[in-house]
Structure formats: structure tokens, C-alpha cells
Structure 1
Amino acid sequence: MYAIVTTGGKQYKVAKGDIIDVEKLDAQPGDKVALDVLMLNNGKETIVDAAALADKKVSCEVLDQFKGEKVLVFKLKKRKRYHRTKGHRQNLTKLQVTELPE
């Protein structure tokens, strides 16, 4: 049994007990959050109807708030003596899936 959920403009395939890293959510460690379901597979059938999934949510528990790995951005204009290096670390939230809808 698994589900496709959406948060932060991205989609994730999750099953019960999975731990995923998503864009930062406004929640503290230990809080419960509910994610929207786009697709649900219970082993026998797959549900993709938006009307049937409108009231279904995947329950998750917030484990941690942290920063991701540093991503380097390098700009260069050849033969013009222009180059810039910049780094970025995205704020992330670690979630554990506790319950899938039936």
C-alpha cells in the first residue's frame, strides 16, 4: 500500500513508516501534519479520482527541522573576467509517515 502526496510543489511516493525530507513546513518536532493525496494504491486497486481523494489525507509526524546540503552556484562570462560563486542551503523538514488513508 502506497500513496503519492504533494507538498512544497513536489510529489513524493510514500508508504507507512517511510521517512522523507520535504520543503520546510511551519511545524515543530513532534507535531502532526496532514499531506494532500494525489494517488492511492491499496494493493488491489489504484484510486486517482480527485473527487474520491478530496477528503483523504496522509498523516505524518515531524521528526526534525534542518538545512540540506550546500549547493554551489557558479557564474562565468568567458573572456570578460567575470565569475561569481555563491552557495545555498535549503531549509528542510524530516517527516515520518504514520498513517495512510483506507
Structure 2
Amino acid sequence: MYAIVKTGGKQYKVAPGDVLEVEKLEVEPGKKVELEAICIVDGEKVEADPAKAAKTKVEAVVLEQFKGEKQLVFKFKKRKNYKKMRGHRQNLTRIQIAAVGSAKADVKADKPAAKKADAKPAAKADAAEKKPAAKAAAEKKPAAAEDKKPAAKKTAAKKDDAEAKPAAEKKPAAKKSEAASEDAE
């Protein structure tokens, strides 16, 4: 399992146990830091949506704060006698990836237990509410059945009209094809 994390404006591919040099993080050596995941790859499953991947925890331990190697900056303009040599040492942090784990699995494991405990009292309350509603529904059913009978007759009449229309539409189409074959002869 590995992840693509974003820190210091750059992206890194990390797996548990990797040691990285990243832009300076304001954390003391020995402390843990959580990095922002952009993409998670777990065998065959790939989660490339940054919103969903951000839910996964990528923990790292800060090993040390240090300065990187000197980077030379040389400015030069030909025929102008302009030369400037400057150097720069970037502040960096060396980290070791402790774990690339899923926060979703931990949350899912906690939720079902909480739901089961809360579900029993809620189920009793729902059952008590449903009994009066069931009685009211039983009283309304005969009135609703009377309304449906005339509606069934109307739909049968509509079906007859619908069947008649396509038959009428088909006849002119057949005549056109016959007329076209006569003109061709």
C-alpha cells in the first residue's frame, strides 16, 4: 500500500518506512505529523479522488530539522560586465512515514456498535407510532378502492384509443410506399 501526499507545495509517493526530505515543517523532532493524502493505492483498489483520499491518514515522525545543500544562483549578462554569484540553503525537515492507514475503517467499526445500542429503544418507539397509523390506513383503504374502479375503466378506454391511433397511422405509411412503387414502374 502506498499513497501520494502533498506537503510544501510538492507531491511525494510514500509507503510505510520511507524517509523523505520535505520543505520545513514547524514540528519538533520526535513528534508525529499527519500529511494530506491525494491518492491512495491499496493493491488493486485505487482511490484517486482527493476528497475521499484525504480521509485516509498518513502519519509521519519528524526525525530532524536541517539545512539542505547550497544551491548556487549565478546571474550573468553578456557584454555588460554583469556577474553575480549567490548561494542559498533551504530549511528542510527529514521525516519517516510511520503508517499509511485508513481512517474510514476505524470510523465504520465504531458506528455499527453505536447504532445497535441506539436502535433497540428507537425500534420500540417506531412500533408504537406505527400502530395508530396502521389503523388509520385500514379505515382509508375502502374509500381508496372505490376511487380506483372508475379509474380502471378510464385507462381501458384510453388503451383502446391508443391502439386505434397507431393502426390509423400505419395505413398512410403503407399507401405511400405503394404509391412510390407505382411511380417507379
TM over 0.5: yes
Give the Cα–Cα distance (whole angstroms) in 1 for the partners of residues 36 and 91 of structure 2.
21
Q: Which residue of 1 aligns with 2:151?
A: none
Q: Give the equivalent residue in structure 1 for 2:62.
A: 62
The aligned residue for residue 74 of structure 2 is: 74
2:37 corresponds to which residue? 37
In 2, the alpha carbon distance for the partners of 1:90 and 1:49 equals: 32
SS of equivalent residue, structure 1 residue 55 = coil
Gapped regions of structure 2 (runs ≥ 5): 103-185
The structure that is helix-richer by fraction is 2
Mapped to 1, the partners of 2:50 and 2:75 lie a distance apart of 43
Count of residue pairs the alignment pairs up? 102
Counterpart code for 2:28: Q
TM-score, normalization: structure 1? 0.96
Q: Normalization by structure 2: what TM-score?
A: 0.54
Deviates more, 1:85-94 or 1:39-48: 39-48
Unaligned residue ranges in structure 1 (runs of 5+): none
Q: What percentage of aligned pairs have identical amino acids? A: 55
Q: Identify the residue that residue 22 of structure 1 maps to in structure 2.
A: 22
Letter in 2 for 1:68: G
**Higher share in strand:** 1
State the Cα distance separating 1:50 from its structure 2 match: 2.7
- Give the ranges of 4+ consecutive aligned residues of structure 1 lying more than 6 Å apart after TM superposition: none
Cα-Cα RMSD: 0.9
